Amino acid sequence: MYFWDKKTECMSLDELRELQGERLKNTVRFAYDNVPFYRRKLDAAGVNPEDIKSIDDITKLPFTTKEDFRDNYPFGMFAVPLEQVVRIHASSGTTGKQTVVGYTENDIGVWSEAMARTLSAGGTTKGDIVQNAYGYGLFTGGLGAHYGAEKIGASVVPISGGNTKRQLQIMQDFGCTVLCCTPSYAVLLGESAAEQGIDTSKLPLKAGFFGAEPWSENMRREIEEKLHIDALDIYGLSEVMGPGVSYECMEKAGLHVSEDHFYPEIIDPETGERQPDGYKGELVFTSLTKEALPLIRYRTRDVTYLFSDNCGCGRVFRRMHRVLGRTDDMLIIRGVNVFPSQIESILMEIDGTEPHYLIVVDREKGRMDQLEVWVEVSPKMVSDEVRKLEAIERAIVAELESLLGISLKIRLVEPKTIARSEGKAKRVIDRRDLNQ
């Protein structure tokens, strides 16, 4: 079994709980004193930082949501002045506004540590060459994996996403041993390697760390067969930190949460009531060491369950099952968060489009996720000329791609062909087979 920091990852449960309690007290006090939003929230809930004495007191605290980020856009959730913030990332919000997160130098250190644990758990050492095909940019995937690999002392190839041919060339020429990317991109790389006649069993590539989108055990098998590697699931979200919040060990049986930094809970999404380990519900995180953006009981909207039976690797950290679904309608497409409400707001702004649309997400074998938006044509859009329809299509595509940051296809369909349902319209068809 591989470890980055065995002493911490395998501390006793009592030590861990003690540490979590101590850190929770500090986090709540720090957030209360430095973020007006948290002060108001705790005051309204009648909770004083003094009331937090151990980790069990966490249930006294109110929840934080994605809407809170929107309401405090862009920097209202920060607990330190910008002079101390060394990095800013952002991800999609439910509407036009991005969810903005910030990091102090120390936060970047913790994040790197968490990613170093993640990569080490799959056997990455300083002797490895890490091909990092996560996108670099506002998305946390690229830089998160990058800093973790550097922390270990591995040689990082910051190739970023896309350009499959070059990826395979560099993979062979450099002798990359570790791959980081989304699972659907790993499948694509495997398929492309086969098409090009590359014998992946002869390559030094040994492990891959895949996350930022939902996947399945079937996909794991497919990736492992195609690339001849161990495929490990990693989890994270920018609000909590980025990739590395939880990670699989070589047992490949759930993701260990770095509980000394990120405290997980499962709640009933309807009542907000805490669920015991083993029960499915919404995953909630509290940061225990973050400075720039302390996070108190953040509702991730991801559905999973936690379990604490001893893992064969010996880590004390509880595991979460791979994410089973969402409590909202957010889609994750090629690592990018997409809310149907974002697409709807754009369509409403374009003259002549009908409010009837359907989002179709598909993952054909060996290809990346495809996003199609079906739009019913209206009498206003139709004329005797195809180029006018094509111009409307192009305008919609340009607006949506600019907002979402991913490529997509518009399909114009005949009126009344998108199913109307009673009450809430069905806006999304997700054909990806993710729960096996």
Partner 1 sequence: MRVNQISVFLENKSGRLSDVTRTLADNNINIRALSIADTIDYGLLRLIVNDPDLATQVLTDNGFTVARTEVLAVEIPDRPGGLAGVIDILAAKNLNIEYMYAFVGRSGDHAIVVFRIEPVEDAITVLQEGGMRILRGEELHSL
CB of 356 to partner 1, least distance (A): 12
- Nearest approach, Cβ of residue 409 and partner 1 (Å): 9
The residue within the footprint of partner 1, chosen from 14, 199, 384, 422 (CB under 8 A), is: 384
- The answer to whether residue 303 forms part of the interface with partner 1 (CB under 8 A) is no
The residue (of 298 and 357) whose beta carbon lies closer to partner 1 is 357
Three-state DSSP string of the chain: CCCCCHHHHCCCHHHHHHHHHHHHHHHHHHHHHHCHHHHHHHHHHCCCHHHCCCHHHHHHCCCECHHHHHHCCCCCCCCCCHHHEEEEEEECCCCCCCEEEEEEHHHHHHHHHHHHHHHHHCCCCCCCEEEECCCCCCCHHHHHHHHHHHHHCCEEECCCCCCHHHHHHHHHHHCCCEEEECHHHHHHHHHHHHHCCCCHHHCCCCEEEECCCCCCHHHHHHHHHHHCCEEEEEEEECCCCEEEEEEECCCCCCEEECCCCEEEEEECCCCCCEECCCCCEEEEEEECCCCCCCCCCEEEEEEECEECCCCCCCCCCCEECCCCEECCCCEEECCEEECHHHHHHHHHHCCCCCCCEEEEEECCCCCCCEEEEEEECCCCCCCCCHHHHHHHHHHHHHHHHHHHCCCCEEEEECCCCCCCCCCCCCCEEECCCCCC
Residue 420 in contact with partner 1, rule: CB under 8 A: no
Cβ at position 259, least distance to partner 1 in Å: 50
Contacts of 358 (CB under 8 A, 6+ apart): 373, 374, 418, 426, 427, 428, 429
Q: Per rule CB under 8 A, is residue 412 in the interface with partner 1?
A: yes
Amino acid at site 74: P
Cβ at position 361, least distance to partner 1 in Å: 18
Applying CB under 8 A, which part among 285-293, 338-346, 356-364, 371-379 lies near partner 1? 371-379
Among the residue ranges 183-191, 261-269, 310-318, 415-423, the one whose residues contact partner 1 (CB under 8 A):
415-423
Cβ-contact 283, 266 below 8 angstroms: yes
Q: Minimal distance in Å, beta carbon 368 to partner 1?
A: 20
Residue 314 one-letter amino acid: G
User: Would you count residue 414 as binding partner 1 (CB under 8 A)?
Assistant: yes
User: What mask of x and - would describe binding to partner 1 in positions 78 to 97, judged by CB under 8 A?
Assistant: --------------------
Q: Which stretch binds partner 1 (CB under 8 A): 55-63, 170-178, 295-303, 386-394?
A: 386-394
- When binding is defined by CB under 8 A, the residue of 411, 429, 431, 433 that contacts partner 1 is 411
Give CA–CA dist 375/377, Å, rounded. Answer: 6
Q: In whole angstroms, how close is the CB of 413 to partner 1 at the nearest point?
A: 6
Shortest reach from residue 391's CB to partner 1, in Å: 12
Q: Which stretch in 6-14, 100-108, 185-193, 408-416 sits in contact with partner 1 by CB under 8 A? A: 408-416
Q: Which stretch binds partner 1 (CB under 8 A): 140-148, 228-236, 243-251, 375-383?
A: 375-383
Q: Which of 59, 308, 417, 435 binds partner 1 (CB under 8 A)?
A: 417
Binding track over 331-370 against partner 1, x by CB under 8 A? ----------------------------------------
The answer to whether 386 contacts partner 1 (rule: CB under 8 A) is yes
- Least distance from partner 1 to the Cβ atom of residue 258, Å: 47
CB of 288 or CB of 375, closer to partner 1: 375
Which string of x and - marks every residue 237-256 that binds partner 1 (by CB under 8 A)? Answer: --------------------
User: Which residues sit at the interface with partner 1, rule CB under 8 A?
Assistant: 377-379, 381-386, 389-390, 411-417
